[in-house]
Structure 1
Amino acid sequence: MPIPTEKLIKNSISNHKRGKIFFPKNFSKFGTSEAIRQALKRLEDKGFLIRLAQGIYLYPKEHKLLGTLYPSLEEIAKAISKRDKARIIPTGIQALNQLGLSTQVPLNLVYLTDGTSRTISVGENTIKFKKASPKILAVKSETNILIMQALRQLGKHNIDDKTLEKINMILQKVDRESIVHDMKLAPVWISEIMQNSLSKREPT
Structure 2
Amino acid sequence: MQSIDSNILSRIYGTGRGSVFTPGRFLDLGSRDAVDKILSRLVQKGTIRRLARGLYDYPERHPVMGILTPSPDAIARALAGKEGIRLQPSGAYAANRLGLSTQVPARIIYLTDGPSRTVKVG
TM-score (norm 1): 0.51
For residue 118 of structure 1, report the CA deviation from its aligned partner.
2.6
Q: Is the 8 A contact 1:6 1:43 kept in 2?
A: no
Give the Cα separation in 2 of the matches to 1:73 and 1:58: 12
Give the Cα separation in 1 of the matches to 2:25 and 2:71: 21
Name the residue aligned to 1:94.
93
Name the residue aligned to 2:68.
69
Give the Cα separation in 2 of the matches to 1:106 and 1:100: 13
TM-score (norm 2): 0.79
> SS in structure 2 opposite 1:112?
strand
Q: Is the 8 A contact 2:17 2:59 kept in 1?
A: yes
Amino acid at match of 1:21: V
> SS in structure 2 opposite 1:111?
strand
> SS in structure 2 opposite 1:121?
coil
Aligned length: 122
Q: Which runs of 5+ in 2 are unaligned?
A: none
For residue 90 of structure 1, report the CA deviation from its aligned partner.
2.0
Q: Which runs of 5+ in 1 are unaligned?
A: 124-204
Computing the radius of gyration over CA atoms, which structure comes out larger, 1 or 2?
Answer: 1
Give the Cα separation in 1 of the matches to 2:22 and 2:45: 18
Change in 2 beyond 3 A, CA 1:62/1:99:
closer
Name the residue aligned to 1:111.
110
Give the Cα separation in 2 of the matches to 1:65 and 1:16: 23
Give the Cα separation in 2 of the matches to 1:17 and 1:2: 20
Q: Structure 1 vs Structure 2: percent identity of aligned residues? A: 43
Amino acid at match of 1:65: V
Matched, 1:17 2:16: yes
| Higher RCO (C-alpha 8 Å, min separation 6) | 2
Q: CA RMSD in A?
A: 2.4
Name the residue aligned to 1:139.
none
* More helix by percentage: 1
